[in-house]
Homo-oligomer: A and B are copies of this chain.
Amino acid sequence: MFTCNLNPKARQTLCDQLYDALRGAIAAGRLRDGEKLPSKRELAAHLGVSTSTVEAAYGRLNEEGLCESRPRSGLYVTFRQEGSPELSGAAEIRWDFGTGAADAKHFPYATWAHLMRETLSARSADLLSAGDPRGSAGLRLALSGLLRRLRGIEAAPDTLVLGAGTEVLVSDILALIGRDRLFAVEDPGYPRVRRILLAGGARIAPVPLSGGAVDIRELYRSGAGAVYVTPSHQFPTGAEMDEARRAALLSWARETGGYILEDDYDSEFRFDGKNIPAMRGRDARVIYLNTFSRTLAPGLRMSFMALPEQLLPRFLEMHAACSVPAFEQETLERFITGGYLERHIARMRTLYRARLKALRQGAEACALGRLHPCDAGLYALLEAGGKAPATELVSLAAKEGVRLTRLADYAMMEEDGDDRRVLLGFAGMDEDEITAGLAALARAWGTVGQKQNRH
């Protein structure tokens, strides 16, 4: 039964103490959603207080909506802590090939915590003041060095802006270049950015892909005033934009006065050693975006962008403070200048390369279909063998506890129903899990049987 220490000599009344303890237990998930609370009489006896004390505490929880009284049954908790399991009829996901997964287990937590403790101990006065709206000068200097070393990008610290996630930065961009522009987006493309643009009041124009990149003729035809692209690793096809298409895109920007939003996400995770230069720096109409959600951890909420110089004065005028707390800024600065970030990225690249290899081998061994070439990023595109369309493949997989998505899930225009392309994210599982997951997929789709029958 729920229990807590009540102190009759405390300044707080017994009812207040009990109420706080119950509230705390609910918040901490010790009393779980749907759990029945002990009856007033029981709890009163157990804690040695009057039933009216318990009644008053229960009444307050009830009023707040943390519990509800069910007739002839008692009081039940109606508050669910996130992360706690939800009762549901669907099969449990055992192998998650979702594209959003990343491996947070390998985040160098001890190092990060150590640097944050150092930051706390340094107790610089800047930690409490609003600071530069772009992020601290020291961090921007570190970021500019990082961009140069990792991506060959020359971006002056002055032009860099740190923000609490890509959402915040894209909102800023809308305010800077005008949300009355029509925003072209890749189709298929990254749904979250589409949503952010729409939520920000912009109109969007889906532009089909051609040769793995946004179709330039269609882009001209759309009349767009800005385009959001993922040239280093198109989401979700994984294709890389070739040099001719990059040049054409830059011409489009110059001729139409349009802006290019270059999202360089996952560019750190290339497995073939090549490092294609970003578009940023080649034209004043490119806004470069990147995030630490995948290189570090999503919970840290840190993304950054490099703004063309002409947009800086307006940015500085618009903002009074940076959306990332000073503690995180300084910790990240220490993390970069200490070389920890690059070491971590190198380690993860090796790890992810091995996972991709396991994915390739497993997909081959299980005869799942044709895996598109994939040299970068954390998911691969599979064209399934057999005749079943992707929709059916996904639901068959779900029955075996495998989660994956269709390529068509990221498209705005309806694809033809026979499309058999699915995405396999491999960042969230180790090699053994990947192999086991693909075997489960083979069972679900019946491919192993087919292959075995042929032998």
Contacts and interface: CB of A to CB of B under 8 A. Distances in A.
Interface of A: 23-24, 26-28, 63-66, 79-83, 104, 107, 109, 113, 116-117, 120-121, 123, 125-132, 136-138, 141-142, 144-145, 148, 154, 156-158, 164-165, 167-168, 171, 174-175, 179, 192, 195, 199-201, 293, 297-302, 318-328, 337
Contacts of A148: 64
Contacts of A127: 297, 299
A107 B293 CA distance: 31
Contact of A164 (B26, B109, B323): B323
A334 to B, nearest CB: 11
B175 A128 contact: no
A120 B116 contact: yes
Contact of A137 (B27, B121, B128, B301): B27
A325 B297 CA distance: 10
Nearest to A314: B199
A116 B123 CA distance: 13
Most buried by B among A129, A142, A179, A299: A299
Most buried by B among A137, A145, A302: A137
A292 to B, nearest CB: 11
Given A128-B297, A299-B326, 8 more contacts: A79-B137, A79-B157, A83-B126, A128-B299, A130-B298, A168-B323, A200-B200, A328-B328
Contacts of A116: 116, 120, 327
Contacts of A24: 337
B82 A136 contact: yes
Given A301-B325, A318-B199, A325-B328, A104 B79 contact: no
Most buried by B among A65, A82, A83, A319: A82
Contacts of A157: 66, 79
12 contacts: A23-B145, A116-B116, A129-B298, A130-B293, A164-B168, A164-B301, A164-B325, A192-B320, A201-B201, A300-B325, A301-B324, A327-B327
A148 B64 CA distance: 10
Nearest to A145: B23
B165 A321 contact: yes
A83 B136 CA distance: 10
A319 B167 contact: yes
A289 to B, nearest CB: 16
Given A64-B156, A165-B321, A131 B299 contact: yes
Nearest to A19: B145
Contact of A201 (B27, B107, B179): B179
B323 A323 contact: yes
Contact of A113 (B120, B199, B328): B120
A156 to B, nearest CB: 5
Given A104-B128, A298-B129, A318 B195 contact: yes
Nearest to A24: B337
- Please give me the 4 A-B residue pairs with the lowest Cβ-Cβ distance, nearest first: A128-B297, A164-B323, A175-B199, A130-B298
Contacts of A320: 167, 192
A60 to B, nearest CB: 9
Contacts of A113: 120-121, 123
